[in-house]
Amino acid sequence: MNKLDRRILKTQESLKKAVIELMSEKSFDEITIQDIADRANVNRGTIYLHYQDKYDLLDKLIETHLNELGDMDQWACELDWVDALVPYFEYFEKNYLFFSTMLASKEGKGAPSSFRTRLLASFMEGFKGEIDRESGKNGELSEDVLLQFTGTAYVGVIEWWIRNGMPYPPQAMAKQVGTLLGRSL
């Protein structure tokens, strides 16, 4: 695989970190390109070498996280529910500022399509491959109903956990949520 220049990685990482920090301080609409450049300590013109505009930057930030969550699906499916969910909750914990800020953000004209919506879609996509289609317990259920039910529940409980400052450690959350998901899927 062609190796990416570390300067590019550093610039993009600092921009994404800057935008999330700023979003935890004020609404996305109030943030200027100069704000982001200052916080990231890069030249304002450099942002345009990487992104169309600040909406594109936010979009790519969200995409980065959703991709990493999606990558976890590759090997999580080999495990039982509880073991599979531990790294997810550890990921949410590690990126607490991102998730808490994004979930707290009001859906205005500023931000692209809702973060929560994209998160839900990502989880539903991942759950598709986890449905128990053999034991017969899901035989009379519509797939979309099942996915909407469990996906919404998962997003809801994650949002609750994040918004309440992660009252239980990732392992405990994985155990309980994993058990519940195992019952439903």
Site residues for its own copies per CB under 8 A: 6, 10, 41-43
CB of residue 41 to DNA, shortest distance in Å:
7
CB of residue 7 to its own copies, shortest distance in Å:
9
Nearer to DNA, 51 or 154 (CB): 51
DSSP output for 42-72: S-HHHHHHH-SSHHHHHHHHHHHHHHHHHHH
Block residue for tokens 């034991």: 135
Nearer to its own copies, 42 or 155 (CB): 42
> CB under 5 to 8 A by kind: which of its own copies, DNA, none does 50 bind?
DNA
Q: Which DSSP symbol is given to 95?
A: T
**Which of 58, 51, 65, 33 is closest to 112 using CA atoms?**
58
Block residue for tokens 């970190």: 17
Block residue for tokens 């600092």: 14
Nearer to its own copies, 6 or 109 (CB): 6
Block residue for tokens 């499916």: 77
Nearer to DNA, 57 or 147 (CB): 57
Instruction: Please tell me the distance from the alpha carbon of residue 47 to that of residue 143, in angstroms, as a whole number.
Output: 42
CB of residue 148 to its own copies, shortest distance in Å:
43
Q: Which residues bind DNA (CB under 7 A)?
A: 3, 5-8, 10-11, 32-34, 41-46, 48-50, 53-54
CB of residue 11 to DNA, shortest distance in Å:
3
> CB under 5 to 8 A by kind: which of its own copies, DNA, none does 133 bind?
none
Q: What are phi and psi of 135, to 5 degrees?
A: -75, -10
